[in-house]
Structure 1
Amino acid sequence: MKRIQVVPTWSFRDGSGNQLNPQLFSLLRAIHEEGKLTAATKKAGISYRHGWNLLNTWAAFFGVPLVELQKGRGAQLTALGEKLIWAEQRVVARLKPQLESLASDLNMEIHRALEGVSPLLRINASHGYAVALLPDFAEGIQLDLQYKSAEDALASLGRGTCDIAGFHLPTSVVSPKLIESYSRYLKPRVHKVIRFITRRQGLMVKSDNPHGITGLEDLTKAGVRFINRQKESGTRVLLDEMLKQRQINSRQIEGFENEEFTHSAVAAYVASGMADAGMGVEAAARQFGLGFIPLEEEYYLLVCHHRSLEQAAVEQLLQNIRSPAFQQAVMQLPGYSPECCGEIVALDDLLSKTNTI
C-alpha cells in the first residue's frame, strides 16, 4: 500500500526576492565525498555542464564561491560550501523523528478511508535506526508509529493511548535512576516484554581521531569539545551513569551543556567539525563517516499489556519482526543485532538484572 513521506526542503531568497531551487545540495555532498567535479556530477546524476552552471549560479547568488576548482587538485568545498551541507544534515537529523511521526498520522488517515483496512497498532518509542524500519515491514497492520522519549512512551502505555511502548536498557551498566524511572510504569503482573534488538553505544569521533580519544576519560582533555544528548534521553542517562561510575566530573567536559536530540544530529554535529566527540550508536557514526569507540551495549525492548499479545495486530507485528527479511535489514545496520528478536520475556527481574534476559 502506498505510504507517503514528509521531508524538509530548503528555500533561499535574497533581499530582492530572487529564489533558487536547492538542487545544489546533492552536488555539494558529492563534491565533498569525491573531491572531483566530474565524479561528483556523475554521482549527483547531472551533466558536468549543468553542475558547472549550478556552482556559478549559486556563487553569484551568495556573492562568494562554494567550491574551489584547482588544476591537478580537483574540487574542494569552501567554508560556506561546507557550512551549507552540514547545516542541511543537522536540520534533517533534528527534524526526522517529528516528520516521521507526522507522516505516520497522515498515513493513518489515508488508510482509514480505505475499505478492508488492517488492524491498527499504536507504537510509541524513542527514535532509532531499527525502529525506523518498522513501517517498511508493517505487512498486515496499520502502524501508527509515534516517536517519544522512553519515559513518555511508557507513560502513554499506562494511559492506554498506545498498544506498545519502546524503551532501552544497558546490558551491563545498571543505572538506578533509569530503573527507578521505568519502575513507575512497568508492572510484572500486567506487562510482557518483547525483545527487539541489541545495539552498540559509544563515542563518535572524527575518522582520524586527532585528539587520540579512547574513552570517557579523554573527554576532559584540553581542547576536546563535546556534544551531548538531551537530559530525558536514554543515551544521556547512560552517559551520566558511566561518568559517575568512573568518577569523571562532567563540569570538566567542554560543551557538556550543549545538546542535540537524535543520534544522527550528534553525528552530524561532530562531522561538521563543531565538536570533537559525541555519544551515540555506531550506525550514526558510520552514516557520517566517523570513527566509533564502543562503550556499552543496549537492549532495545518493546513492552505491552499481557492481554495485547492475543490481539491480531500484535501477533502480526511479532510475525513481521521475526521474519528473515526484517532481521536481515537490522543486520545491515552497523552495531545492531536482531538476536532473539520477537521473543516474549517476563518482566520479573528485568529491571534489576538486565543481563539476564
Structure 2
Amino acid sequence: METLEPGLVWTLRGEERLCLDGDFLALLRAVESTGSLARAARATGISYRHAWGRIVRIAERLGVPLVLLKQGRGARLTAAAERLLAVDAQLRRRLASEAAPLLEEMAETLSHWRKPRHKAVSLCASHDLLLAALQARLDSVLPLDIVFQGSSESLESLRRGRCQLAGFHLCPQTLPDGRRMLEPFLRGQSIVIILLARREQGLMVGRGNPHSIRGLADLARSQVRFINRQRGSGTRLLFDRLLAEAGVPPAHIAGYANEEYTHQAVAATVASGGADVGFGIRAAAHLYGLAFIALAWEAYYLACRRRSLEEPAVQKLLQAIRGSELRAAAAAMPGYDVSEAGKVYNLSQLLASTAIPTDPVARL
C-alpha cells in the first residue's frame, strides 16, 4: 500500500500569497529555542537575510510583530508568535489523529490503481527507520508496500488479512505487556515471527544537551518540555513501563499528552525547538543531529502467517533480511544490531521467552 502523511499549510491570501508552512514554523521554533535569529537561520539552513525578510513580510501581513530583536540580547518570540505555534501544534495533533483512518483508506485505494513492477509484499508496521531504508534499497526488485502505524494496529491488520506481515517490537521491560498485546491478535493462528533487528531506544535531546538531562527523572523538571509517541505504539508502551520503573508519574511531565506518530517526527520536533526532549530510537536522533541518552535495547520483529512465509515474494524478503541489503542499510545508521537478522520463531517460543537481551552484545 502507498504510505501517506497528513499535512497542514497556512496560506495568507491577498495581492501576494504567503505561506506559513512547516519551514517557516520551524524557523519560529528555532528562534524560540536558540534565542537568536542568526542561530535559528543556521539551524533551518537559510541565510539570516532570508529568515528576517520572511518574518517581516508575514508579520506585516498579519498586522502583529512575531520576533523581537534586541542588540546584544538576541531574539525572542512575541506572544502572537507563541500563540501561532501553539494553535498550529494543536491542530496538527488533531489532524494526525482524525486523518489516520482516512489516510489508510486512501492508501488502499491508490494501491489498487498502481501497477507494481514486481509483486509487492504488504506490511503494516510500527515505525522503524531500518525497515524504511530496506524498502528504499529493494524498491526496484521487490516493492514493499508499508503502512506505518502502531504495533497493536499492525497486528490487528495482520489478523484481518489486510497485510502479509506485521512489524512490532518487544524488550524485557515490555514482555508481560507484549504477551497481552500479542495473544488476542495471534493466538489460534499458525504464525511465525521473523527477527528483523535489535535497536536502541532512549531520550533524544538538543545538541550539547542544553538542559543537562541525564535520565527519566529529569523529565519532571518544570522547565523541560516533552514530546511523546502516540498511544498504542510499542514505543509508548516501553516509555510508560520505564516511567513506572523509575517512579516518575506521567502527570509530572510537561508535554506528556503531546503525541507524534513516528520516531522522525519526534526527533524533528526536538530539533526544531518544539520540545526539549523526546523518546525514540538512536537512529532518529542521529538523523537530526541530536544527543542521545540510551535507556533500553529491544527486538523488532515481523509476524506473518506460516503459509505466507512460503510465498516467493516473502521468501525473497527473508533473503534480503538475512543478506547484504539489510546489513548495508544498518551500517549507515547507528543503534541497530542485525547480527542475527532473519531468525524465525514460532509464537509460543516468543511468548515463553524470558531471555530477550538487555545489552548490545546479548543474543536471542
CA RMSD across the alignment:
4.4
- Runs of 5+ consecutive residues of structure 1 not aligned to the other structure: none
- Alpha carbons of structure 1 residues 23 and 243: separation in structure 2 relative to 1, 3 Å: closer
Give the CA deviation at 1:168. Answer: 0.3
Q: Structure 2 CA distance, aligned partners of 1:118 and 1:134?
A: 16
Counterpart in 1 of 2:360?
none
- Alpha carbons of structure 1 residues 150 and 306: separation in structure 2 relative to 1, 3 Å: same
Match for 2:112: what amino acid?
E
Give the CA deviation at 1:60. Answer: 3.2
Give the CA deviation at 1:157. Answer: 1.6
Give the CA deviation at 1:212. Answer: 2.7
Counterpart in 2 of 1:125?
125
Counterpart in 2 of 1:250?
249
Contact 1:194 1:303 in 2 (8 A): yes
User: Where in structure 2 are the equivalents of 1:254-269 lying within 5 Å?
Assistant: 254-255=253-254, 257-262=256-261, 263-269=263-269
Contact 1:309 1:315 in 2 (8 A): yes
Give the CA deviation at 1:201. Answer: 0.8
Q: Structure 1 CA distance, aligned partners of 2:51 and 2:252?
A: 43
Q: Structure 2 CA distance, aligned partners of 1:209 and 1:216?
A: 14
Counterpart in 2 of 1:235?
235
Q: Which of 108, 111, 117 is the matching residue for 1:108?
A: 111
Q: Which of 18, 21, 24 is the matching residue for 1:20?
A: 18
Residue 156 of structure 1 aligns to a residue whose secondary structure is helix
- Alpha carbons of structure 1 residues 188 and 5: separation in structure 2 relative to 1, 3 Å: closer
Residue 12 of structure 1 aligns to a residue whose secondary structure is strand
Give the CA deviation at 1:231. Answer: 2.7
> How does the TM-score come out when normalised to structure 1?
0.75
Contact 2:118 2:141 in 1 (8 A): yes
- Alpha carbons of structure 1 residues 287 and 163: separation in structure 2 relative to 1, 3 Å: same
Q: Structure 2 CA distance, aligned partners of 1:6 and 1:204?
A: 23
Give the CA deviation at 1:166. Answer: 0.6
Q: Structure 1 CA distance, aligned partners of 2:131 and 2:84?
A: 29
User: Where in structure 2 are the equivalents of 1:183-198 lying within 5 Å?
Assistant: 183-187=183-187, 190-198=190-198
Give the CA deviation at 1:102. Answer: 7.2
Question: Is residue 226 from structure 1 mapped to residue 226 from structure 2 by the alignment?
Answer: yes
Counterpart in 2 of 1:213?
213
Give the CA deviation at 1:152. Answer: 1.8
Match for 2:281: what amino acid?
V
Question: Is residue 158 from structure 1 mapped to residue 159 from structure 2 by the alignment?
Answer: yes
Give the CA deviation at 1:304. Answer: 0.8
Give the CA deviation at 1:302. Answer: 0.3
Give the CA deviation at 1:83. Answer: 8.9
Counterpart in 2 of 1:279?
279
Give the CA deviation at 1:52. Answer: 7.7
Counterpart in 1 of 2:148?
147
Match for 1:254: what amino acid?
I
Match for 1:284: what amino acid?
A
Q: Structure 1 CA distance, aligned partners of 2:140 and 2:8?
A: 30
Per mean C-alpha deviation after superposition, the further-off stretch among 298-307 and 103-112 is 103-112
> How does the TM-score come out when normalised to structure 2?
0.73
Per mean C-alpha deviation after superposition, the further-off stretch among 120-129 and 314-323 is 314-323
Counterpart in 2 of 1:341?
341
Q: Structure 2 CA distance, aligned partners of 1:312 and 1:264?
A: 32
- Alpha carbons of structure 1 residues 267 and 5: separation in structure 2 relative to 1, 3 Å: closer
Residue 161 of structure 1 aligns to a residue whose secondary structure is coil
Give the CA deviation at 1:207. Answer: 2.8
Contact 1:29 1:85 in 2 (8 A): no
Give the CA deviation at 1:165. Answer: 0.7
User: After superposition, what is the alpha-carbon deviation per residue over 1:128-161, rounded to whole angstroms, capped at 9, x for unaligned?
Assistant: 2223234322343443322232112112222222
User: After superposition, what is the alpha-carbon deviation per residue over 1:161-190, rounded to whole angstroms, capped at 9, x for unaligned?
Assistant: 2111111011x3244122211122334972
Residue 184 of structure 1 aligns to a residue whose secondary structure is helix
Residue 350 of structure 2 aligns to a residue whose secondary structure is coil
Contact 1:193 1:346 in 2 (8 A): yes
Per mean C-alpha deviation after superposition, the further-off stretch among 300-309 and 267-276 is 267-276
Residue 289 of structure 1 aligns to a residue whose secondary structure is coil
Contact 1:104 1:144 in 2 (8 A): no
Contact 1:105 1:144 in 2 (8 A): no
Contact 2:123 2:163 in 1 (8 A): yes
Q: Structure 2 CA distance, aligned partners of 1:227 and 1:150?
A: 19
- Alpha carbons of structure 1 residues 165 and 107: separation in structure 2 relative to 1, 3 Å: same
Give the CA deviation at 1:69. Answer: 8.4
Count, aligned residues: 345
- Runs of 5+ consecutive residues of structure 2 not aligned to the other structure: 358-362
Give the CA deviation at 1:222. Answer: 4.6
- Alpha carbons of structure 1 residues 63 and 140: separation in structure 2 relative to 1, 3 Å: same
Q: Structure 2 CA distance, aligned partners of 1:131 and 1:200?
A: 15
